[in-house]
Amino acid sequence: MSNEPRILVSGAGGFIGHHLVKYLVKRGYVVRGADIKAPEFEGTDANEFVISDLRNHSECLKVTKNIDEVYHLAADMGGIGYISAAHASITLNNTLINAHMLSAARANGVRRLLFSSSACVYPQYLQKRPDVEPLREQDAFPADPEEGYGLEKLYTEKLCQYFTKDWHFETRVVRFHNVYGPLGTFDGGREKAPAAICRKVALLADGSEIEIWGDGLQTRSFMYIDDCVEGIHRIMRSDYSAPLNLGTDELVSVDELVDIVSSIAGKKLVKRHDTSRPQGVRGRNSDNSRLRSVLGWEPKTPLRVGLIPTYRWIEACVSGRLHQPVQTAAE
């Protein structure tokens, strides 16, 4: 019998959760997945998968029973179009999910819980220029997070801190910076920018016009999914309980992102910018100084490398070739 801790991955039907389950099972962990839905594109590798509405405390109690560690990724979320238009439902759903999961995990004797936070917690007043300074963990206060999703994430970070300080319940907090890769949602309104752009490019003929939300000058850093799940596991195994950035510091504009994807596709496209569409903060980048100090590691996959398998997979999906094998960036 394995001596590894028994793991719950909440949100295991989602993009990051699905990849994390694969990663942990390959390393010998016994993993229970839980989500309101099954994975979208392929079956789960979890030893057990429970369909569960984690907004209910009773459901959180069930899925955390006989569990040692929780990777808590379950959330109502999506791209900028979605999170800027659904403040009430996102905030309500995630507040219920997070408070009930923390409470249930503690009640069931879970040893440690990792909470998936977001770079959306960072103050909007620090993100008003495309050439933004990388955001450090201590920059979260004085607070001015993104409305709804960002505010709820920042509040739950504090709730984790209070559980640890007052009740000695071990928590870890990871602040994700824009994750992309194969098997992620690429249409329907909840997709992130890399997936949306890959989909648009795949559907367009060479020489066509591509619609870009905003003026294209807004900047972000993007992290490949393989780096993301390795980083999550490293943070869970660390002795560091304060929030940690998990992202790359490779800053690119949305226009540059379009150019990279178009190059991978072998297409030349004409950009048409729609400034009436949501585009989020002007610039956002990750400062990885503390991550390197704590872990001696940071995400390493260059954007152009990670976008190759991402684009190839999305292109196969939209062309109807859904079951082709997916290569990782390392392959």
Residue 275 has pLDDT above 90, yes or no: yes
Cβ–Cβ < 8 Å for 329, 308: yes
Q: What is the pLDDT of residue 322?
A: 56
Same domain for 64 and 188, yes or no, is no
Cβ–Cβ < 8 Å for 135, 126: yes
Beta bridge partners of 71: 9, 114
Which residue carries 């997916």 as its tokens? 326
Of the pLDDT bands very low, low, confident and very high (cuts 50, 70, 90), residue 329 is very low
In this prediction, residues 230-234 reach a mean pLDDT of 98
Q: What is the pLDDT of residue 234?
A: 98
pTM, entire model: 0.94
Same domain for 141 and 233, yes or no, is yes
Same domain for 101 and 188, yes or no, is no
Residue 4 has pLDDT above 90, yes or no: no
Between the two ends of the chain, the Cα-to-Cα distance in Å is: 32
Residue 70 lies in a domain: yes
Burial 249-268 (b: 16+ CB within 10 A, else e): bbbbbbbebbbbbbebbebe
Q: What is the pLDDT of residue 79?
A: 85
For the stretch 56-96, pLDDT in tens is: 999 999 999 999 999 999 999 988 889 999 999 999 999 99
Q: What is the pLDDT of residue 2?
A: 54
Same domain for 75 and 200, yes or no, is no
Residues classed as catalytic:
149
Q: What is the pLDDT of residue 331?
A: 33
In this prediction, residues 269-288 reach a mean pLDDT of 95
Same domain for 259 and 169, yes or no, is no
Residue 235 lies in a domain: yes
Residue 325 lies in a domain: no
Q: In what order do the strands lie in the sheet with 244-246?
A: 48-51, 30-35, 6-10, 69-72, 112-118, 170-176, 244-246
Same domain for 11 and 141, yes or no, is yes
- Beta strand 112-118 with 170-176 is parallel
For the stretch 25-37, pLDDT in tens is: 999 999 999 999 9
Q: Kindly report the backbone phi and psi dihedral angles of residue 87, in degrees, each rounded to the nearest multiple of 5, phi listed first.
A: -60, -45
Residue 244 has pLDDT above 50, yes or no: yes
Same domain for 70 and 84, yes or no, is yes
List the structure tokens of 12: 């295991």
Residue 326 has pLDDT above 60, yes or no: no
How large a percentage of the chain has pLDDT more than 90?
Answer: 92
Distance CA 217, CA 54 (A): 38
CATH no. for residue 116?
Answer: 3.40.50.720
Residue 213 has pLDDT above 60, yes or no: yes
Structural domain including 307 reads 183-220+251-285+301-318
Residue 324 has pLDDT above 70, yes or no: no
Q: What is the pLDDT of residue 328?
A: 41
Same domain for 65 and 19, yes or no, is yes
Residue 71 lies in a domain: yes
Sign of CA dihedral 205, 208, 211, 217: positive
Same domain for 232 and 306, yes or no, is no
Q: What is the pLDDT of residue 54?
A: 98
Residue 164 lies in a domain: yes
Of the pLDDT bands very low, low, confident and very high (cuts 50, 70, 90), residue 321 is low
For the stretch 111-169, pLDDT in tens is: 999 999 999 999 999 999 999 999 999 999 999 999 999 999 999 999 999 999 999 99
Cβ–Cβ < 8 Å for 177, 286: yes
The count of structural domains within the chain is: 2
Which ranges in 204-250 belong to alpha helices (H)?
225-237
Distance CA 130, CA 283 (A): 4
Residue 99 lies in a domain: yes
Same domain for 161 and 93, yes or no, is yes
Cβ–Cβ < 8 Å for 264, 308: yes
Residue 327 lies in a domain: no
Residue 92 lies in a domain: yes
Q: How many CB atoms lie within 10 A of CB 91?
A: 17
Same domain for 165 and 73, yes or no, is yes
Same domain for 30 and 101, yes or no, is yes
CATH no. for residue 207?
Answer: 3.90.25.10
Q: What is the pLDDT of residue 80?
A: 87
